[in-house]
Structure 1
Amino acid sequence: KQTMDALFGNRKIRLATLTDFSQISVSTKNHLKNVYTCLILCMLSASAGAFLHLKGIFAQSGFLSIIVSIGLMLWLAATSHSKENQTKRLCILTAFGGAMGLGLGPTLDFAVEVNPQIIMTAFLATTVIFICFSLSALYAQRRSYLYLGGMLMSCLTLLMVTSLLNLFMRSFAVFQFGLYVGTFVFCGFVVYDTQLIVEKHQNGDNDYIWHSVDLFLDFINIFRRLIIILGLNEKKNKRNN
């Protein structure tokens, strides 16, 4: 097998290792292809939903779309993942993605008000983060990051409790704490969920449609937080200038 080498100091690094997933079985690779295909479908649907909101269609449906997306997610989870239901579940997944895109409406409105370029910057940053953390999970030894599950869930619970308390405290410092820590937590979930999907498939769980939902939620949560962080920083810079 031909490889391309690059020299960095005295260390020789094989660039071919960047595409070496030999530790993953062929069937698992095919499963991951299906997962990421569904993830792309869901993201395209979410983009369409976000676009409709920005164009003034369903402009006031932010909270309602969140309720609808929860209902669609529960419907998807309750629908058997047999071959006969595959088309139906893909339609539910697409609708779920669209509802989540509409649910981003208030966050997108905030970004447009401050600087519309924030949306694209946040999307590109989220994409890079997502790809890097996903690859780190796939390159790593099997199950090596599954121990993160307990810690991540504990952190997520703490963030939820803190957010609820902050409804009464109204502390901007606590709000910022939730933003930054939440971003790191969902970056960790990208690693954890990726390895968990591999492990589930190894144990006979082939529901690639539902597995894509886990990764999609990780992406959306990072994206939303980055928009708010970038928007707040932009507003701060404008005040200082």
Structure 2
Amino acid sequence: MAQPSVNKFPSYVASHLKRVYWTLSVSVALMFIGMVVHTYTSIGYTLVPQVLVFASLLLFVSFPRNPQTEKTRKYLLYCFSTMVGCELGPLVEVAFERDPDIVLNAVSGTAVVFLCFTGAAVVAERKSYLFLGGFLSSVLSILLLFSVFSFIIPLKIEEYVQLYLGLVMFVGYVLFDTQLIIERAYNGSTDAVSDAVTLFIDFVGIFVRILVALLKNSSEKESKEKRKRK
């Protein structure tokens, strides 16, 4: 994954951002490797990825954030990202069987969206997107409420809200989290691994929603074509 320009920052901030984006790039690569592992082993249909995702994340959170534990936490992140890829394997497999272009478009679309918005956050004026924090928290609360209500009263609109409003939310978090990482670096907080985890979660959130949206559109298009033939 290409790194946004960091030339305008002090050397210590630029160095931190390079480490964050390098760690993020490795994590994303391992996620896609996890998807490939699923195609050969079908591990995504088992509970193993879910257990390892939970365990690695729990261990990651439990370790203190200091230079002495950075390497261990980085390995836990890499385990987490690989298992996330395995867990997403069945979804990717369904999309690939329907049309390989869906997966390719989802990957390229996610990369373009992520790089454009994280780049916009990097080149923008400092703190200019931090105001999004409150708005994004409200959107997250709405999505959680919709999830709760859907268990009680099934709503057809809930699927679209989770998909498209969720996509907007994660794109907003890319802007917000990137500038928050920059501000923390200015203030001396340079935990590259934790910052990479934040951006990785944003990346996965965007990827899953783009993939599902493309898969849904393909299915609806196929249904319309079948009705026309009748």
Q: What is the TM-score when the length of structure 2 is the normalising length?
A: 0.90
State yes or no: 1:54 paired with 2:39.
yes
* Per-residue deviation, residues 83-121 of structure 1 (Å, max 9, x unmatched): 332322221111011111112133223313432321111
Runs (5+) with no aligned partner, structure 1: 1-17
State which of 187, 196, 213 in structure 2 corresponds to 1:212.
Answer: 196
Query: Shift in Å at residue 21 of structure 1?
Result: 4.0
Alignment of structure 1 residues 142-153 onto 2, 5 Å: 142-153=126-137
Per the alignment, residue 231 of structure 1 pairs with 215
State which of 70, 79, 94 in structure 1 corresponds to 2:54.
Answer: 70
State which of 19, 25, 30 in structure 1 corresponds to 2:10.
Answer: 25
Q: Secondary structure at the match of 1:94?
A: helix
Q: Retained in 2: the 8 A contact 1:166–1:175?
A: no
State yes or no: 1:42 paired with 2:33.
no
State yes or no: 1:118 paired with 2:111.
no
Code of the aligned partner of 2:177? D
Query: Shift in Å at residue 48 of structure 1?
Result: 1.2
Query: Shift in Å at residue 39 of structure 1?
Result: 0.2
Range that drifts further, 102-111 or 136-145: 102-111
The alignment's C-alpha RMSD in Å is: 1.8
Q: How many residues align?
A: 222
Q: What is the TM-score when the length of structure 1 is the normalising length?
A: 0.86
* Per-residue deviation, residues 206-237 of structure 1 (Å, max 9, x unmatched): 11011000000000000001111000100111
Per the alignment, residue 149 of structure 2 pairs with 165
More helix by share: 2
Larger radius of gyration: 1
Among the aligned pairs, what percent are the same residue? 29
Q: Distance in 1 between matches of 2:90 and 2:123?
A: 37
Alignment of structure 1 residues 83-98 onto 2, 5 Å: 83-98=67-82
Q: Distance in 1 between matches of 2:86 and 2:147?
A: 22
